[in-house]
Amino acid sequence: MSFRNIVVTVTAVNRASAQFSRIQTDAEALSARIKSLGAAFAGLGATGVAIGSIARQMGLLNNEQAKVFNSAMAVVSVMGMFMRTSWGVAVAQKIYAAATWIATVAQNALNISYATFLALTGVGIAVIIAAAAAMWYFASQMNSATASVKDFNSAASETPGAGRSIRRAGEEELYRRGVEY
């Protein structure tokens, strides 16, 4: 027996590469959006500083108000410029990851609470049905006890008074008016 004419073909399928490429694409898109947002912040801050200066020159703001306003707008501008750097993008991505984590935890908590609600609602319905069955059983037992007492009272009323009990003289008067102390 010879193995010279047997060919074995091995095909390796790397399924993880496509996911890594997708993650890289998502990260690059997020980086581009962060840089674009940073440019918008920087432009907004610079515009704010210019508006603050014009407002001071026109007398709409006094020197102190203009100084505070321009300082705030300068901070916005610096934040925007920082967001355009690689450090800024990294920080923004960390903040985004933290916010995504918080949103995931909140969504999971909502899912758990909804599942708990559904489970308890099912158990609650079962408890209500069981309580209704118990109340029906109790009511039917009370009805039969009431019927039994009525039957006894009607039978006792037909029995002559002498046969029902032995009474002492004057006892009827006590029963009629109650016992006086």
The predicted model scores a pTM of: 0.44
pLDDT-based confidence at 20, cuts 50/70/90?
A: confident
Tell me which of 26-35, 95-104, 112-121 is least confident. Answer: 112-121
pLDDT value of position 12? 64
Other CB atoms closer than 10 Å to residue 32's CB: what's the count? 11
- Going by the DSSP 8-state scheme, the letter that residue 8 receives in this structure is -
Q: Which residues contact 75 (CB under 8 A, 6 or more apart)?
A: 45
- Quote the CA–CA distance of 140 and 46 in Å, as a whole number: 84
* Domain coordinates in residue numbering, the chain: 29-125
Q: Is 39 exposed, middle or buried (0-12, 13-18, 19+ CB in 10 A)?
A: middle
Q: How crowded is the C-beta side of 116, counted as CA atoms within 13 Å? A: 6
High-pLDDT (> 70) share of the chain, % = 78
Asked if residues 44 and 80 have their Cβ atoms less than 8 Å apart, the reply is: yes
What integer pLDDT is reported at residue 35 of this predicted model?
A: 87
Q: What is the pLDDT of residue 181?
A: 46
The model's pLDDT over 152-180, given as tens digits with 9 standing for 90+, comes to: 878 777 766 555 566 666 666 666 655 55
Contacts for 31 with CB less than 8 Å, ≥ 6 apart: 89, 93
- Per the listing, tokens 């193995």 go with 3
Q: Distance between CA atoms of 99 and 82, rounded to whole angstroms?
A: 20
On the question of pLDDT at 7 being above 60, the answer is yes
**Exposed, middle or buried: residue 148 (CB in 10 Å: 0-12, 13-18, 19+)?**
exposed
CA max distance for the chain:
130
Mean pLDDT of the chain: 80
Q: The tokens of 14 are what? A: 């790397």
Helix (H, G, I), strand (E, B) or coil at 98: helix
Q: What is the tens place of the pLDDT at every residue in 91-113?
A: 888 888 888 889 888 888 887 77
Judged by average pLDDT, the poorest of 25-29, 39-43, 109-113, 116-120 is 116-120
Q: Which of 63-77, 114-128, 145-159 has the lowest mean pLDDT?
A: 114-128
Examine the pLDDT at 138 and tell me if it is beyond 90: yes
Q: Measured in Å, how far apart are the chain's first and last C-alpha atoms?
A: 125
Question: Are the C-beta atoms of residues 77 and 46 closer than 8 Å to each other?
Answer: yes
